[in-house]
């Protein structure tokens, strides 16, 4: 019917999980390495059933933000949002027994949507405490407090009157890893950097969105499914790559220079430049350097660390050459400028 209202819906979801390289410090790694606690397998590329993932203990926290706007004559006349936090659990194994501890959710934070004549922006923060308290030093008696740090994400979702939508990871705890999925459930962005030490020391009380501050999130482009497959093969193969830590600003490869090493980003963000022009920034899971291996041993781009990075450095023969050819076809970034 002419003049009838039209409704536009969209969504964004984040999943927070603990990768194997995320825990720092021998004392903190020990329960994971001994099998008492567990790391998480990477979430899927496409999320079809968030509740099924929760029941399978595949994530620690999830933030699901859904929004809608109602239009009449091309004007926004109504809006609303739904969704909320999904809480995972922590399973501990002691001897032949195991116990599962539910995480503790904090209230979802939903400021009033920002409404203009052409779009509506929804914001939502979800998170809480992990299921098992962790000891930390404090400055007052008894000088030791058993309280798990807070983990969270803040998502924004903008729906426009023209039917388009966009989303962003605007804030997040520095631990664990956060992956972002679009309205179709497809992986669209990742948090680029884990800072376990800062999180373990400071993610309490006022140092969170439930206090007076959020932590800005550094989100990066998503690597290809092939890169995710190759990274698993590389890290779990018989010939282990060298793990290298570099400071922010370190130049890993220089355009035109010789080189045949492959770089897998385990943590942090790297930047690709061609002829001095910034092409893209990539985070954990991305694999770089294959074109020099395939095209005469000269680097076709400059690769540098935007943040402090942890990298797996591998020789060319540690990865199947046919896979490198396929990967290279998708990495001709300078030809798409």
Q: Which domains does the chain have, with CATH numbers?
A: 6-220 (no CATH), 225-336 (2.60.120.10)
For tokens 């930390």, what's the residue? 136
Express each pLDDT in 126-135 by its tens digit. Answer: 998 775 555 5
Q: Under 8 Å CB-to-CB from 2, ≥6 apart: which residues?
A: none
* HEC readout, the chain: CCCCCEEEEEEEEEEEECCCCCCCCHHHHHHHHCCCCCCCCCCCCECCCHHHHHHCCCCCEEEEEEEEEEEECCEEEEEEEEEEEEECEEEEEECCEEEEEECEECCCECCCCEECCCEEEEEEEEEEECCCCCEEECCCCCCEEECCCEEEEEEEEEEECCCCEEEEEEEECCCCEEEEECCCCEEEEEECCCCHHHHHHHCCCCCCCCCCCCCECCEEECCCHHHHHHHHHHHHCCCCCEEEEECCCCEEECCCCECCCEEEEEECCEEEEECCEEEEEECCCCEECHHHHHCCCECCCEEEECCCEEEEEECHHHCCHHHHHHHHHHCCHHHHC
Report the 10 Å Cβ neighbour count for 186.
12
Q: What is the pTM of this model?
A: 0.72
**334 pLDDT higher than 60:** no
Written as six digits, the tokens of 265 are 């980003």
Instruction: Identify the pLDDT of residue 200.
Output: 64
Express each pLDDT in 36-60 by its tens digit. Answer: 456 788 899 999 999 999 988 889 8
When pLDDT is cut at 50, 70 and 90, the band that residue 323 belongs to is confident
Which residues lie across from 158 on neighbouring strands?
A: 121, 166
When pLDDT is cut at 50, 70 and 90, the band that residue 1 belongs to is very low
Instruction: Identify the pLDDT of residue 142.
Output: 46
**253 pLDDT higher than 90:** yes
Does residue 5 contact residue 176 with C-beta atoms inside 8 Å? no
Written as six digits, the tokens of 106 are 């904090």
Does residue 164 contact residue 183 with C-beta atoms inside 8 Å? no
Separation CA 337–CA 329 (nearest Å): 15
Instruction: Identify the pLDDT of residue 90.
Output: 63
**15 pLDDT higher than 90:** yes
Instruction: Identify the pLDDT of residue 131.
Output: 58
Express each pLDDT in 273-283 by its tens digit. Answer: 999 999 888 88
Q: Provide Rg for the chain, Cα atoms.
A: 22
104: left (phi over 0), alpha (psi -120 to 50) or beta: beta
Separation CA 272–CA 254 (nearest Å): 10
Nearest C-alpha neighbor of 180 from the set 207, 218, 237: 218
For tokens 């859904």, what's the residue? 66
Across the chain, what does the average pLDDT equal? 82
Separation CA 87–CA 94 (nearest Å): 23
Separation CA 105–CA 265 (nearest Å): 31
Written as six digits, the tokens of 164 are 């388009």
**141 pLDDT higher than 80:** no
List phi, psi (to 5°) of 232: -65, -45
């Amino acid at each position: 019917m002419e003049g009838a209202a039209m409704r536009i819906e969209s969504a964004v979801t984040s999943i927070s999980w603990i990768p194997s390289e995320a825990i720092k410090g021998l004392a903190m790694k020990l329960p994971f390495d001994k099998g008492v606690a567990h790391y998480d397998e990477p979430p899927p590329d496409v999320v079809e059933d968030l509740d099924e993932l929760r029941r399978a203990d595949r994530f620690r926290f999830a933030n699901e933000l859904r929004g809608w706007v109602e239009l009449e004559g091309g004007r926004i006349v109504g809006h609303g949002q739904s969704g909320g936090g999904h809480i995972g659990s922590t399973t501990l194994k002691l001897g032949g027994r195991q116990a599962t501890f539910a995480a503790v959710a904090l209230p979802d934070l939903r400021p009033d949507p920002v409404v203009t004549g052409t779009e509506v922006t929804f914001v939502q923060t979800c998170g809480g405490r992990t299921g098992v308290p962790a000891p930390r030093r404090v400055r007052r008696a008894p000088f030791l407090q058993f309280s798990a740090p807070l983990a969270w994400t803040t998502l924004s979702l903008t729906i426009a009157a023209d039917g388009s939508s966009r989303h962003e990871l605007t804030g997040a705890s520095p631990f664990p890893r956060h992956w972002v999925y679009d309205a179709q459930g497809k992986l669209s962005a990742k948090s680029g950097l884990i800072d376990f030490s800062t999180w373990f020391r400071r993610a309490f009380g006022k140092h969170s969105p439930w206090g007076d501050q959020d932590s800005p999130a550094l989100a990066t482009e998503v690597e290809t499914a092939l890169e995710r497959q190759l990274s698993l093969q590389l890290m779990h193969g018989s010939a282990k790559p060298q793990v290298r830590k570099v400071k922010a600003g370190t130049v890993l490869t220089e355009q035109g220079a010789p080189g045949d090493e492959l770089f897998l980003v385990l943590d942090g963000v790297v930047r690709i430049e061609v002829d001095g022009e910034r092409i893209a920034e990539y985070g954990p899971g991305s694999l770089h350097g294959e074109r020099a291996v395939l095209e005469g041993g000269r680097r076709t781009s400059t690769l540098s660390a935007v943040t402090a990075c942890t990298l797996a450095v591998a020789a060319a023969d540690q990865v199947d050459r046919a896979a490198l050819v396929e990967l290279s076809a998708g990495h001709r970034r300078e030809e798409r400028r």
